[in-house]
Chains A and B, each alone.
Chain A
Amino acid sequence: MNLQAVRSIYTFEMARAGRTLLQSLISPVISTSLYFVVFGAAIGSRIQEVEGVSYGAFIVPGLIMLMLLTQSVSNASFGIFFPKFTGTIYEVLSAPISYFEIVLGYVGAAASKSAILGLVILGTANFFVDLHIQHPFMMMLFLLLTALTFSLLGFIIGIWADSFEKLQLVPLLIITPLTFLGGSFYSIDMLPPFWQAVTLANPVVYLVSGFRWSFYGISDVSVIASLVMIGVFLAVSLAVISWIFRTGYRLRP
């Protein structure tokens, strides 16, 4: 195991976030705060409680998930796309490191960044609403697993994309709609029965539901189903990445 190399990639990627602190940390915090102002204070005050939780507090887990998903994907996809785009990837490919170590460095850094961001948003939310976390350990587990899984997905997108347009396409066309329709801002009980059934095909529902459960003990689907769903996601992402490296897809012609 070339730990030195993993550490080099990890710190390099973390330093990149440090240089673009405004973009990587402050802008998500500002946009989340705006959500709280609009949905929590302005509109939320006119919406009745959801299963005994005020609407402002109800949307906190969903909002963190929204940020966690989009930031994990964008961090990780950009982290591997950019060296591919500029050509500096040659150095990583010519170094005595394994595929696993490359993934550990890049995805580890992306996941760390979005997990930190998730906690920062949680802290920000604390200013706007009254927060109770019933299962802090499970909350952290959901947070870390989601950050990891979606960073892996971002890594795949970053390798697949051969233009900046494609890099934006998947987050825009798939991740964002799934997240908004995944119960971030509502409980799926609020939907008509037909759409409830359709929604269950959306994997993000399981993530948001499980994460919300760790806060308030309320959930749309069972916690076990949520954990299984993350596990399936993780396994699929890992399988795709191992295929990418086995075939050299878009990295080693």
Chain B
Amino acid sequence: MNHETPTAPAHQAKADSPADRPAPVIAISGLSKRYDSGFEALKQIDLEIQRGEIFALLGPNGAGKTTLISIICGLVNATGGSVVIDGHDSVTDYRAARAKIGLVPQELTSDAFETVWNTVRFSRGLFGKPPKDSHIEQVLKALSLWDKRKNKLITLSGGMKRRVLIAKALAHEPEILFLDEPTAGVDVGLRRDMWEVVRELRNSGVTIILTTHYIEEAEEMADRIGVINGGEIVLVREKAALMRQLGSKQLTLHLQTPLASVPPALSHHPLTLAEDGNVLVYTYDASEAGDSDHVSISALINEIEAAGIRFKDLHTKQSSLEDIFVNLVRERP
């Protein structure tokens, strides 16, 4: 197929110079979707997925997670923007692009009267791969479905059906796997098993994008976390960086008399005033609290008292990923 080589759009240039970073396995730029009803599901999404990572897309219901995945996988037509999958445009070069992708949908859909073996075999053929029973055997064994291979899908439990959908998505040996809410309605044991499977896949080089609204899942699995809300990506960060942010604590002092400004004697501390000077807030890193060069809370309080500031109450608060998430999502109704 004779299509233009995708060039990096101007608005991607703000990322650190492309030369020292490996090319992303998925490059989404300016992607938007307006449904016929007028509903704007996606607003100018820019996102890059790195090869071999586990990327968790977090967001409340109706945020646009499934629409985004559906456009990448070819189930929904975008209104604007582009998706480039490993150098192949998802519209003009859809064969090469889609061949690399496996999709596990959110809904438990299945051909009720088909057997596990046949349905997985069908998936492989659909993606144009010649039959390779040894691969299908391996996939079924990895997902503990081997014993069920002759069962009709209608006889399987919900958790088993979920595994079958994963097996179908893996039947054609994809390089990129999309898991849309993989553990919704799945019991704890099966969820752990599934996480294990996902990790093994990542270790074998498969890039994994999962959507979830379980923060625990993102925390457990992901290398990077993206938060989507109201059709916009509101945050993309390394999980490790997020976890550090998670470690930040706040000490809040409710003052007896309001202050106009932080006294100069205390200006070398990260102190801020809030609520018209009635509250003094000290932000610090909990993980460093034990370090020798770190100002201890008691020393700080002594200094504050020495500066003549009296307070009537104090409390400390540690933000969790959930707080970060809730704040991000609440800001944009």
The tally of residues in A whose CB lies under 8 Å from a CB in B reads: 25
Q: Which residues of B contact A91 (CB under 8 A)?
A: 103, 123, 126, 168
In the complex, the answer to whether B76 meets A88 with C-beta atoms within 8 Å is no
Nearest chain B residue, comparing its CB with the CB of A88 = B109
In the complex, the answer to whether B74 meets A94 with C-beta atoms within 8 Å is yes
Q: Which residues of B contact A90 (CB under 8 A)?
A: 75, 103, 105, 109
The tally of residues in B whose CB lies under 8 Å from a CB in A reads: 32
Interface string of B105-132 (1 = CB under 8 A from A): 1010111110000100011011111100
In the complex, the answer to whether A4 meets B125 with C-beta atoms within 8 Å is yes
Chain A CB within 8 A of B94 CB: yes
> How far, in Å, is A47 (CB) from chain B's closest CB?
45
Nearest chain B residue, comparing its CB with the CB of A8 = B125
In the complex, chain A residues 44-100 whose Cβ is within 8 Å of any chain B Cβ: 83, 86-88, 90-98
In the complex, the answer to whether B109 meets A9 with C-beta atoms within 8 Å is no
Q: Which residues of A contact B94 (CB under 8 A)?
A: 96
In the complex, chain A residues 2-40 whose Cβ is within 8 Å of any chain B Cβ: 2, 4-5, 7-9, 12, 15, 19
Q: Which residues of B contact A192 (CB under 8 A)?
A: none
> How far, in Å, is A117 (CB) from chain B's closest CB?
21
In the complex, the answer to whether B99 meets A96 with C-beta atoms within 8 Å is yes
The A interface, classified by DSSP as helix, strand, loop or mixed, is helix
What is the count of residue pairs linking A and B with beta-carbon distances less than 8 angstroms? Answer: 71
Q: How far is the CA of A7 from the CA of B128 in the complex (A)?
A: 9
> How far, in Å, is B144 (CB) from chain A's closest CB?
22
In the complex, the answer to whether A87 meets B105 with C-beta atoms within 8 Å is yes
Q: How far is the CA of A97 from the CA of B130 in the complex (A)?
A: 15
Q: Which residues of A contact B98 (CB under 8 A)?
A: 94-96
Q: How far is the CA of A2 from the CA of B112 in the complex (A)?
A: 26
In the complex, the answer to whether A253 meets B35 with C-beta atoms within 8 Å is yes
Q: How far is the CA of A94 from the CA of B98 in the complex (A)?
A: 7
Among the listed B35, B99, B111, which residue makes an inter-chain contact with A88, where contact means beta carbons less than 8 Å apart? B111
Nearest chain B residue, comparing its CB with the CB of A20 = B113
Q: Which residues of B contact A95 (CB under 8 A)?
A: 98, 126-128
Q: How far is the CA of A87 from the CA of B153 in the complex (A)?
A: 14
Nearest chain B residue, comparing its CB with the CB of A95 = B126
> How far, in Å, is B103 (CB) from chain A's closest CB?
5
In the complex, the answer to whether B128 meets A5 with C-beta atoms within 8 Å is yes
Chain B CB within 8 A of A193 CB: no
In the complex, the answer to whether B110 meets A7 with C-beta atoms within 8 Å is no
> How far, in Å, is A86 (CB) from chain B's closest CB?
5
Q: Which residues of A contact B125 (CB under 8 A)?
A: 4-5, 7-8
